[in-house]
Amino acid sequence: EIVLTQSPGTLSLSPGERVTLSCRASQSVSTSYLAWYQQKPGQPPRLLIYDASSRATGFPDRFSGSGSGTDFTLTISRLEPEDFAVYYCQYCGGSPFTFGGGTRVEIK
C-alpha cells in the first residue's frame, strides 16, 4: 500500500505569495498516477493536476505540478484570493487509491 504524506499541514500566506506544497510517497510512483485536487469549504474536490504535471480544465497557469519517484510538488506561483483552499494529492495507480492528508492554504 502506498502512503502519501503531505506537508506542511497548514500554510498561512498572503495574496501574491508563491507557495510550494509537498506530497511524498512511501514508495516510487509513476507520474501517470499522481493527481492533485483543490477543495473549498462546502464544495466537492476539483481535479487540479493529473499525471503529476498536467493542469486540468479551468485552472490557470499559475498552478503547476512537478516531481517524480517519491517526491511531488504543487506550486502556485502567485496566490490569488480564490486559491485559499485545501489541497490533496492522490495515488491512482492501483488499489488502494489513497489520498494524502491534505494541506490547508489559509490567508495570513
Partner 1 sequence: EVQLLESGGGLVQPGGSLRLSCAVSGFTFTRYAMSWVRQAPGKGLEWVSTISSSGSDTYYTDSVKGRFTISRDNSKSTVYLQMNSLRAEDTAVYYCASGFRPMTSLSSLEYWGQGTLVTVSS
Enumerate binding residues for partner 1 (CB under 8 A). 32-33, 35, 37, 39, 44-47, 50, 56, 86, 88, 90, 92-102
**Shortest Cβ 90–partner 1 spacing (Å):** 7
Nearer of residues 16 and 42 to partner 1, judged by Cβ = 42
**Shortest Cβ 35–partner 1 spacing (Å):** 4
Nearer of residues 69 and 94 to partner 1, judged by Cβ = 94
**Shortest Cβ 40–partner 1 spacing (Å):** 12
d(CA 18, CA 25): 23
Measured CA to CA in angstroms, residue 79 lies from 11, 15, 29, 70 at distances of 12, 5, 28, 26
Q: Which of 35, 66, 37 is nearest to 53 (CA)?
A: 66
Nearer of residues 19 and 56 to partner 1, judged by Cβ = 56
